[in-house]
């Protein structure tokens, strides 16, 4: 009788162990073989991937899905229960099995001589491999892959938009955000002109020969007509950020736009026909169209003077930046966290979210810019340039920037093919 109880207890504990291998909120795993082929590979061929010497091994890759049990898979393939328990314990402090996610691949490494499972290989992200060893020594190992950083260059001419030109050149779209960070205070990317040109130097990360993202934009040049803007990333003892060739920070007191990756759907216009009121009414703001819920950012440091609602403006925020300038943001769906009158905000801080409250026919923010109590067109405003670096820091920067400038001079500008009119995506959105 005692033996029966012990046996039942052991079976119960085994069930607990088997079901301990769960992913997400599900209590089990299902293995659907997406590449259900075993292949033999010599150690010399597999060492870089598998990180240990087994001689000849079999490799099988399975796709993880909810609703089955990993422990059961191991048990069905001959892994002893005590090893399963050891693996659970070994993984707890390194990479718990609950961290495994459905939809990922799991590679099973087997000894071809007796088909015994020697290890599991799981990649939670492109940068790491988790090795679950099941050979003589049960253990869990995290392998950080080698990340290769390559310096690359790109140059192009704008035919329709920066996005289209970069897409035509096969460049990663995240470079647009990097360009805005480097040049956004000087270049209005919402008013790019056909024939404008850009030249870029950037560092790109590679793992296993595959590109995984931009590490940083080292230098950028944007040419519009006879005007050339240079922006160089530099980190000195007292300065860090993007600077022009004279050592002045590219970051200005005011951002060019209150919304990232938006477009102007209606500009500052004294004689615009209002789409709702059906009459000519001066539009003393600039409309930036973007999906509802897109964050709206403060264009400069300042203090909130209003966060309220009116039938025309909808939800709006007004900020006083100094004795000269105020800005106002209309038609928000809601305010940002902690936004109310009297609060100090920083440049780039989220103050609200795109909406269509008040007199609005589509998702956008109407951005209004006040100078000495009068509404003006911010696009035409000439802001004073920031101060240059201290004289003791400047020589080191100038020497560094000279080399980056020479590299930018050599970047080839590629001319993209013209797109037929009917291939251009319809970006029309209603205005207000």
Domain carrying residue 171:
148-248+405-421
Other CB atoms within 10 A of residue 167 CB: 14
Tell me: do 270 and 362 sit in the same domain: yes
Of residues 25 and 102, more confidently modeled: 102
Burial of 168 (C-beta count, 10 Å sphere; 0-12/13-18/19+):
middle
| 399 has a pLDDT exceeding 50 | yes
Q: What is the CATH number of the domain that holds 333?
A: 2.70.70.10
Angle, CA 407 vertex, CA 406 and CA 408 arms, to 5°: 90
Q: Is residue 220 part of a domain?
A: yes
- Tell me, what's the pLDDT at 67? 63
Angle, CA 252 vertex, CA 251 and CA 256 arms, to 5°: 100
Q: Is residue 30 part of a domain?
A: yes
Q: How many Å apart are CA 152 and CA 154, to the nearest integer?
A: 7
Q: What is the CATH number of the domain that holds 118?
A: 3.10.450.350
Polymer length in residues for the chain: 432
Mean pLDDT of the chain: 80
Q: Is residue 5 part of a domain?
A: no
| H-run or E-run covering 155 | strand 148-157
| 43 has a pLDDT exceeding 80 | no
| 368 has a pLDDT exceeding 90 | yes
Q: How many Å apart are CA 309 and CA 218, to the nearest integer?
A: 44
Stretch 117-131: mean pLDDT, rounded?
89
| 365 has a pLDDT exceeding 60 | yes
Q: How many Å apart are CA 393 and CA 391, to the nearest integer?
A: 5
Q: Which residue, 85, 111, 144, sits at the end of a domain?
A: 144
- Tell me, what's the pLDDT at 270? 56
| 172 has a pLDDT exceeding 50 | yes
The beta strand positions in 158-266, using DSSP E, are 197-207, 210-224, 227-235, 240-243, 263-266
Residue 418 banded pLDDT, cuts 50, 70, 90: low
3-state secondary structure of 343: coil
Nearest one of 225, 209, 217 to 171, comparing CA atoms: 217
Tell me: do 228 and 304 sit in the same domain: no
Contact between 192 and 162 under an 8 Å Cβ cutoff? The reply is yes
- Tell me, what's the pLDDT at 278? 58
Q: Which residue, 94, 123, 144, sits at the end of a domain?
A: 144
| 237 has a pLDDT exceeding 90 | no
Tell me: do 278 and 348 sit in the same domain: yes
| 398 has a pLDDT exceeding 60 | yes
Q: Is residue 430 part of a domain?
A: no
Q: Going by DSSP bridges, is the β-strand pair 128-133/240-243 parallel, antiparallel, or unpaired?
A: unpaired
Share of the chain above pLDDT 90, in %: 39
Q: Is residue 352 part of a domain?
A: yes
- Tell me, what's the pLDDT at 9? 43
- Quote the distance between the C-alpha of residue 143 and its chain's center: 24
Tell me: do 199 and 319 sit in the same domain: no
| 310 has a pLDDT exceeding 80 | yes
| 11 has a pLDDT exceeding 60 | no
Tell me: do 25 and 138 sit in the same domain: yes
3-state secondary structure of 298: coil
Q: How many Å apart are CA 323 and CA 41, to the nearest integer?
A: 73
Tell me: do 375 and 411 sit in the same domain: no
First-last CA distance in the chain: 83
Share of the chain above pLDDT 70, in %: 77
Q: Is residue 8 part of a domain?
A: no
Stretch 88-96: mean pLDDT, rounded?
87
Of residues 309 and 251, more confidently modeled: 309
3-state secondary structure of 90: helix
List, in order, residues 6 or more apart from 284 with CB less than 8 Å away: 268, 368, 375
Residue 429 banded pLDDT, cuts 50, 70, 90: very low
Q: Which of 25-29, 232-236, 301-305, 380-384 has the lowest mean pLDDT?
A: 25-29
Nearest one of 387, 354, 375 to 253, comparing CA atoms: 387
Of residues 255 and 21, more confidently modeled: 255
Tell me: do 230 and 345 sit in the same domain: no
Ramachandran angles phi, psi of 368, nearest 5°: -120, 140
3-state secondary structure of 351: strand
Tell me: do 76 and 128 sit in the same domain: yes
Residue 281 banded pLDDT, cuts 50, 70, 90: low
Stretch 269-291: mean pLDDT, rounded?
70
Contact between 357 and 315 under an 8 Å Cβ cutoff? The reply is yes
Q: Is residue 1 part of a domain?
A: no
Other CB atoms within 10 A of residue 427 CB: 9
Q: How many Å apart are CA 319 and CA 342, to the nearest integer?
A: 9
Stretch 161-184: mean pLDDT, rounded?
89
Tell me: do 243 and 181 sit in the same domain: yes
Tell me: do 99 and 219 sit in the same domain: no
pLDDT digits (tens, 9 = 90+) for 212-230: 999 999 999 999 999 999 9
Instruction: Choose from 46-60, 112-126, 342-356 the range with maximum mean pLDDT.
Output: 342-356
In order, the DSSP letters of 367-410 are: EEEEETTEEE-GGG--PPPPPPPPTTTHHHHHHHHHHHHHHHHT
- Tell me, what's the pLDDT at 280? 55
Contact between 62 and 31 under an 8 Å Cβ cutoff? The reply is yes
3-state secondary structure of 414: strand
Stretch 326-331: mean pLDDT, rounded?
96
Tell me: do 157 and 239 sit in the same domain: yes
Q: Is residue 256 part of a domain?
A: no
pLDDT digits (tens, 9 = 90+) for 48-71: 445 445 456 678 888 877 765 666
Tokens of 42: 């010599």
Tell me: do 348 and 294 sit in the same domain: yes
Question: Structural domain tally of the chain?
Answer: 3
Angle, CA 369 vertex, CA 367 and CA 375 arms, to 5°: 115
- Tell me, what's the pLDDT at 424? 42
């Amino acid at each position: 009788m005692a033996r029966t109880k012990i046996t039942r207890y052991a079976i119960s504990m085994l069930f607990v162990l088997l079901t301990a291998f769960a992913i997400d909120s599900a209590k089990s795993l299902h293995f659907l073989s997406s590449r259900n082929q075993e292949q033999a590979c010599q150690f010399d061929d597999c060492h870089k991937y598998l990180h240990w010497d087994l001689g000849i091994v079999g490799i099988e890759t399975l796709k993880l899905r909810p609703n089955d049990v990993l422990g059961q898979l191991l048990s069905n393939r001959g892994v002893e229960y005590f090893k399963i328990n050891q693996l659970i314990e070994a993984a707890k402090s390194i990479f718990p099995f609950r961290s495994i996610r459905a939809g990922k691949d799991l590679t099973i490494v087997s000894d071809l001589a007796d088909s015994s499972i020697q290890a599991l290989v799981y990649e939670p992200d492109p940068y790491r491999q988790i090795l679950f060893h099941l050979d003589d020594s049960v253990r869990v190992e995290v392998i950080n892959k080698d990340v290769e950083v390559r310096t690359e260059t790109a140059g192009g001419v704008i035919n329709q938009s920066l996005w289209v030109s970069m897409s035509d050149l096969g460049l990663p779209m995240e470079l647009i955000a990097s360009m805005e960070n480097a040049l956004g205070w000087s270049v209005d990317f919402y008013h790019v002109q056909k024939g404008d040109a850009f030249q870029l130097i950037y560092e790109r990360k590679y793992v296993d020969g595959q590109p995984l993202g931009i590490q940083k934009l080292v230098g950028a040049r944007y040419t519009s007509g006879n005007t050339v803007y240079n922006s160089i990333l530099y980190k000195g003892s007292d300065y860090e950020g993007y600077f022009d060739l004279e050592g002045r920070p590219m970051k200005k007191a005011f951002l060019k736009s209150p919304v990232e990756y938006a477009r102007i759907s209606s500009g500052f216009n004294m004689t615009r026909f209002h789409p709702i009121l059906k009459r000519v009414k001066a539009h003393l703001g600039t409309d930036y169209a973007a999906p509802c819920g897109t964050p709206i950012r403060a264009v400069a440091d300042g203090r909130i003077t209003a966060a309220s609602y009116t039938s025309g403006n909808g939800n709006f925020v007004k900020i006083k930046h100094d004795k000269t300038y105020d800005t106002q943001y209309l038609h928000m769906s809601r305010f940002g966290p902690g936004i109310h009158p009297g609060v100090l905000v920083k440049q780039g801080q989220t103050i609200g979210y795109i909406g269509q409250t008040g007199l609005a026919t589509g998702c956008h923010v109407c951005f209004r810019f006040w100078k000495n109590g009068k509404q003006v067109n911010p696009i035409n405003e000439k802001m004073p340039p920031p101060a240059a670096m201290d004289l003791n820091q400047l020589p080191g920067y100038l020497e560094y920037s000279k080399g980056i400038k020479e590299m930018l001079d050599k970047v080839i500008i590629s001319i993209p093919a013209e797109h037929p009119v009917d291939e251009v995506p319809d970006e029309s959105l209603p205005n207000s």
